[in-house]
Structure 1
């Protein structure tokens, strides 16, 4: 049977209030009483029920974080940033992976509501505004991460994905490539489509250049391999001379597939990704990429969420970071 605070008080020969003071305000208790309480806690194996205590206090010390795909190192680094900032505020982060599934995302939001989290950071798959408004009305605010709030009703931390797509395509055009292929998916995801639109803008500025869209089911390494195989199966005259991938995982898959077919990067096909994950620089052919400040994004989002929970009247804030082009061997040959 699990020991409770009354069992500790009885074992130590003190009141329940004294035990509570030892746990929360140790300076109010005499050294002798505090010593007896700590000994009783050790003997009984007592563990404080923080969940019940937080419910009584009306303030949780946990924050929920819902990411699109925990396999993507971008989201891992973003979570690390949120966790680092949470630690500064005495908070903990509960990580959930929606796996780009709306139903799964909804289940996690319901779970976080049941857990009475202090607030939620979320990278929504589609539009989750109605559900997030319900949670806010019930005292659980949200901050969007890696997605701008279109109606600006929620605070958000994002990167200018359209400008990132422009930087990637502009770089490929500047090194003389004219037949650019963009791949990754799902293509209806806001971030993926914004990067495509940025690439389209760069191509439209340039004469005698084209942009082909090769849709993918998702944006994982295996989707990149499939795209690379499709490109390699074409006659050389029908292949693109440059590939812009929706993220670095897709780009690494494309790189693997092209290499297995004897297609040289960047000599035959220049290749650029997005996110600048650690694996990009470590690839056999170091990968050019568009860098997002993932760690800073996580820290900023958590800081904004804490500010909103401290001030319920705080207006929504949209923080948009600018991406950075990182050039490596996959386009610099």
Structure 2
């Protein structure tokens, strides 16, 4: 006959303690003398006892699971956030449960409501307007939001998009660019900050901003928009894309059209995804520290689960990553 797995009662009997003592030791709910803990630990190893996660959750009210909602898992920016968050979760004995909303706002609420029933807390990246997120707070779970909130008092973490955009535009001006364009994505709240940063810098130098809006923050959209930008009446000598994915798609297509990057047009993006350094030419970008965003977000959430009631926002400093997709423009010959 197949031998039954050992139970918590077996551990308690062999260690000479109560089942309550074993339970508290396993769940970290109480410390005991070194001798008692050593005895329990030794019996658990000897018997090969494995605690039942479901039973633990019924006792403690904790699932030891964290929910993380991202907009597009295929985008390396979000993959980096997941990597950072997961590393901290594992170090603290938590499992990450991932939801990909696929850049579709209508899917967010049902997915997050279902997720909230299975986790101890949630890290949320959302496209929904801030005024529409009150229901999220009412779910009653500890929350950390990616991106600053002005109307809802939530824990949050994010990069300084406006500052990063201003730095990038300043660099383009220093490199002699006069006709700067921005390929944006207005459905994102971060888009407004990036556009404002670029516009403010150019205005300080009395330069206009050529502005284009995309329907999705993807490489395919960067490809689609490239011909209308490069073959239109106002051809820019530099373009900043909403993210690196769009920039990579743009570079691929304009090169197919016969244009040279950066000789005919300089190209830059945001996020510093890992593939940007391997393109031809390598991509100039703004590093908003995606992986660190995941690390800080998870640490904030674990603190909230433990009872911390603070509701602060952490702003990460951007870093300009200079590569050869941007070149210096020679001054015009009189």
Give the TM-score normalised by structure 2. Answer: 0.84
- List runs of 5+ in structure 2 lacking aligned partners: 27-36, 329-334
- State the match for 2:79 in structure 1: 76
Deviation at 1:102, TM superposition (A): 2.1
CA offset digits 1:170-226 (Å, max 9, x no partner): 2112211111111132x131011211111111111112x221111111111001101
- State the match for 1:58 in structure 2: 61
1:119 aligns with 2:153: no
1:243 aligns with 2:255: no
Deviation at 1:315, TM superposition (A): 1.8
- State the match for 1:169 in structure 2: 169
Cα distance change on mapping 1:107 and 1:48 into 2, 3 Å: farther
SS of residue in 2 equivalent to 1:135 = coil
Given that 2:251 and 2:261 are in contact with CA atoms closer than 8 Å, whether structure 1 keeps it comes out as yes
Deviation at 1:309, TM superposition (A): 1.2
Deviation at 1:16, TM superposition (A): 8.4
- State the match for 2:137 in structure 1: 133
Partners of 2:42 and 2:94 lie apart in 1 by 30
Partners of 1:249 and 1:52 lie apart in 2 by 44
What is the 5 A alignment of 1:26-105?
Answer: 27-28=39-40, 35=46, 37-38=47-48, 49-105=52-108
- State the match for 1:192 in structure 2: 191
- List runs of 5+ in structure 1 lacking aligned partners: 42-46
Cα distance change on mapping 1:223 and 1:50 into 2, 3 Å: same
- State the match for 1:260 in structure 2: 256
Q: 2:310 aligns with which of 305, 308, 315?
A: 315
After alignment, is 218-227 or 94-103 more displaced? 94-103
SS of residue in 1 equivalent to 2:80 = helix
- State the match for 1:142 in structure 2: 143
What is the 5 A alignment of 1:203-222?
Answer: 203-207=202-206, 209-222=207-220
Deviation at 1:129, TM superposition (A): 2.8
Paired residues, what number? Answer: 308
Give the TM-score normalised by structure 1. Answer: 0.84
Partners of 1:34 and 1:64 lie apart in 2 by 31
CA RMSD of aligned residues (A): 2.6
Deviation at 1:91, TM superposition (A): 0.9
Partners of 1:201 and 1:213 lie apart in 2 by 13
Deviation at 1:319, TM superposition (A): 0.3
Cα distance change on mapping 1:141 and 1:30 into 2, 3 Å: closer
SS of residue in 2 equivalent to 1:253 = helix
Deviation at 1:142, TM superposition (A): 0.3
CA offset digits 1:37-85 (Å, max 9, x no partner): 54xx7xxxxx854134213211221100001111110110111000111
CA offset digits 1:253-311 (Å, max 9, x no partner): 11001111111111111111111111111111011001111111111110011111112
SS of residue in 1 equivalent to 2:198 = helix
